[in-house]
Structure 1
């Protein structure tokens, strides 16, 4: 199946985010990936619900919102109200993953769970019926521009077997380039998050096409 490309606005020009979102929409992005960082769960600070709300009028594309925050539950409703379509929480950031996923779905949003490089895929085994997406971190979260961790490929393949015929997408975030997308997709990934690979030159359309 064709992969979906989700440019991460973490690598965009923050001074003109609305324009950047419109540009990657026009260039063929499938999802708009929004990395939310709190300076606590990860060593960086980025966007809050008000930024998501401000960007929402700039595109009709799916807002793929990745919450790298702890605690996460108190903020889920705010990000849903701001216009998120998919809300992904980290398994490592909540003691009650099942409850968090139930909350996301109760707000009418798709629910995702993210796994850090050292987190085994087994943590999602008992919540598969509440998932729409599994995000495999192929770098340690917190910063863009890092190199892909090769062991993520085996994790992707194991997750694909675990999912079976369930309608759950596997997304990969971290170090995705035109050179390694083939093996990432072959392992079973369907959504590719790309920051530097999309925003590295002003020709976003060609950069997205190269990933495809």
Structure 2
């Protein structure tokens, strides 16, 4: 799966007064996925968007929606995010009592299921759940706010995850990374084996978001621009 390289702009860094336009701009640049950071002010110290906004945005694009649930008791809200049109849903296992049950529920509705590792969460936390998930999201910053600096040790975590995938025969799992991804480091992160790159500030704070996406896509595939 190393050849799969997808750019997922995070609307956390977009202009919330014109989210539809912002999504269209990155779509023009070749964005593959729209990343939705869902925060409840409890699991992380920030509040972002909820289900009504996701439902409204679903009418603006055909790109897959990747909902990263940074919320407590995600099992209570997953059914509504599925109904709202999310194609991928990931959650933090320490926010959920029955992770396997929730993964099974998500997948039973034709939605890809993922779990998330915070910077201080070890890879071996995944040893049991890895047999069932479609992707793993590795946080390369502490979740809660956009615009943070990439934590370099994250690359070692990616390597450990690759080893676990090999040991468990789950080399089909996609590895997603979120936090501090930009043009200057995406090639190195890609070379480590990451498949999906969440980029917020480096895209939506750029003068030309569409061009920013194009450059990230090229760099992720080790093409000089």
TM normalised by structure 1 equals 0.96
CA distance in 1, matches of 2:4, 2:132: 24
The reply on whether 1:179 has 2:191 as its aligned counterpart is: no
Matched with 2:115 is 113
Partner of 2:163: 161
SS in 1 for 2:34: strand
Contact persistence 1:171–1:189 (CA under 8 A): yes
Q: What is residue 14 of structure 1 aligned with on the other side? A: 16
CA contact (8 A) 1:88 1:114 kept: yes
Q: Is the 8 A contact 2:7 2:213 kept in 1?
A: yes
Structure 2 distance, partners of 1:102, 1:162, is 21
Corresponding position of 1:134: 136
Query: In the comparison of the two structures, how many residue pairs are matched?
Result: 212
The 10-residue stretch of structure 1 (124-133 or 50-59) with the greater mean CA deviation from structure 2: 124-133
1:7–1:198 CA contact under 8 A, matched in 2: yes
| Cα-Cα RMSD | 1.1
Shift of the alpha carbon at 1:107? 2.1
Q: Is the 8 A contact 2:11 2:200 kept in 1?
A: yes
TM-score, normalised relative to structure 2: 0.91
Q: How far is the alpha carbon of 1:205 from its aligned partner? A: 2.1
Aligned to 2:34: 32
**Unpaired segments ≥5 residues, structure 1:** none
Q: Quick one: distance in 2 between partners of 1:199 and 1:62?
A: 18
Q: 1:41-91, CA deviations, whole angstroms, 9 ceiling, x for partnerless residues?
A: 000001111111100111111101100000111000000000000000112
Structure 1 equivalent of residue 70 of structure 2: 68
Query: Structure 2 CA distance, aligned partners of 1:38 and 1:79?
Result: 14
**C-alpha separation in 1, matches of 2:210 and 2:13:** 15
| Aligned equivalents of 1:168, 1:108: Cα separation in 2 | 16
Secondary structure, aligned partner of 1:171: strand
2:45 corresponds in structure 1 to: 43
Please point out which of 3, 6, 21 is paired with 1:4.
6
Specify which structure has the bigger relative contact order, considering alpha-carbon pairs within 8 angstroms and separated by 6 or more residues.
2
Deviation at 1:96, TM superposition (A): 1.7
Q: Is the 8 A contact 1:7 1:33 kept in 2?
A: yes
Conserved? CA contact 2:68–2:90, under 8 Å: yes
1:201 is aligned to 206
Pick the aligned partner of 2:83 from 81, 94, 111. Answer: 81
- Quick one: distance in 1 between partners of 2:97 and 2:119? 19
- Distance in 2 of aligned mates of 1:190 and 1:2: 5
